[in-house]
Copies of this chain bind each other. A is one copy, B any other.
Amino acid sequence: MNLENETDIGKAAESPGLPPLRFSELLEKKVILQDWGEYEDFFRFSSNVGKIDEGSVLVKVGNGFELIQGFPKIKRAIMLAPALKNHFKDIYSVAVEEKMNGYNVRVIEHKGELVAFTRSGHVCPYSSERSGHLLEHDFFKDYPEYVVYGEMVGPDNPYVPKDIYGVDSLEFFVFDIRSREGIALPLHERRELASDYGFTQVELLGEFELGEAADRIREIITELGKKEHEGVIIKDPSMILQPLKYTTSQTNCADLRHGFRFYNESGKDYLFARVVREGFQSVEWNESEEEIKDRCLRLGESIIRPMRESILRVQEGERIRDDVRIRVKDESTIDRFRMYLERLGLDVIFSPLERIGDEYVVNIRKMNKSTTDKTLGIIEGQLWS
């Protein structure tokens, strides 16, 4: 599509309700960005514009455009009981689903293929191929107006690989079905519909009256923590009120362990937020002296041990990196995924592909140049100014 074409710009503007002039302005200011290569039918919003959230995508459909709303930001309960009481005060009960630790995507069908958008609105070639194999296409034929939201989870995960879910390769766990404008189906309706099409879904852990919800969720969180699982999403079953998230101490600490391996790259806000949660959870759970000590040790170890490991690695001449893996059916996905990561600014090294059954496995090394260089500098006597 040629964006210099006035007519196209006018049409693109129709869907999100922006006047044509504003739309071309936003393109020029790079608030709206066109995807590349085979995905140039897609335009993502790099920031909020009126009621259109960052990460929303405009999709070229025929001669017009359609808007797909961004991934809704789910707010976090820091202190569970008062947050539940406050946020869900007008409803009778809440449903609790597992919050899985992977990466979330929104999937639609476009020109006969499934397309998966990341949170920021990029089309991820790997997630798109995988979704194509993991999700029943009939659903999208029957409900072209719906968007399927899910968490991609498992070890063959180039973003957040996890072995803790008993997933062999990569699975798509549906957690939401929404209209393109972002309106969610009620929870039970969504679970039934997804089940009708054989979708794998996140686990429904229970539905509780508001008065007992905090206690029940705490029990759930304790059990999930033992397995290093991430936490829960607490939902209004009618999906009218926004959901809340609440996570285990163990996942906070796992995030910190990962973050401090790449201490010079991880955002300080990211690390700080996880530390603060620990303090509040400790108070809310009325911890004994022994439990407090355990939590302190767990937190300290999540910080010091990964840093030690990274420093020792650099001392031994290694470079700090994050090793991940993908598994594809279509060989061409590999190159398209590499280009995608490089466009995002990542420094990646792809291993030669290995054929396993009817699929190819490729190991990807994401190089952490900033942490490597900083560590090397300090080892060589560089000062902290």
Quick one: which of B79, B86, B263, B383 contacts A75, CB cutoff 8 A?
B383
**Alpha-carbon distance between A59 and B73 when the two chains are bound, in angstroms:** 54
Bound Cα distance A294, B263 (Å) = 21
| A239-297 interface (Cβ within 8 A of B) | 244, 260, 263, 268-269, 271-273, 275-280, 282-283, 292-293, 295-297
Contact of A381 with B79 at beta-carbon distance under 8 Å, contacts A276-B263, A305-B292, A308-B292 already known:
yes
Contact with B along A363-385 (1 / 0, CB 8 A): 00000000000000011111111
Q: Across the interface, name the chain B residue whose C-beta is closest to A244.
A: B383
- Tell which of A84, A295, A300 has the most Cβ of chain B within 10 Å: A300
Are the CB atoms of B273 and A271 closer together than 8 Å?
no
Contact of A300 among B263, B269, B298 (CB under 8 A): B298
A272 touches B283 (CB 8 A): no
A290-334 CB contacts (< 8 Å) to partner B: 292-293, 295-301, 303-305, 307-308, 311-312, 315
Is there an interface contact between A279 and B260, defined as CB atoms closer than 8 Å? yes
Q: How many interface residues does chain A have, given as a range?
A: 35 or more
Chain B residues with CB under 8 A of A110? none
Give the docked Cα–Cα distance between A137 and B276 (Å). 49
The reply to whether B82 and A379 form a contact with Cβ atoms under 8 Å apart is: yes
Q: Assuming A78-B383, A79-B381, A83-B381, is B299 touching A303 (CB within 8 A)? A: yes
Tell me the bound Cα distance from A78 to B283 in angstroms: 34
- Which 4 pairs, one residue from A and one from B, show the smallest C-beta to C-beta distance? A86-B381, A279-B307, A296-B300, A300-B300
Please, could you name 8 A-B residue pairs with CB atoms under 8 Å apart, sorted by A? Answer: A76-B383, A76-B384, A82-B379, A263-B279, A283-B308, A283-B315, A292-B305, A293-B297
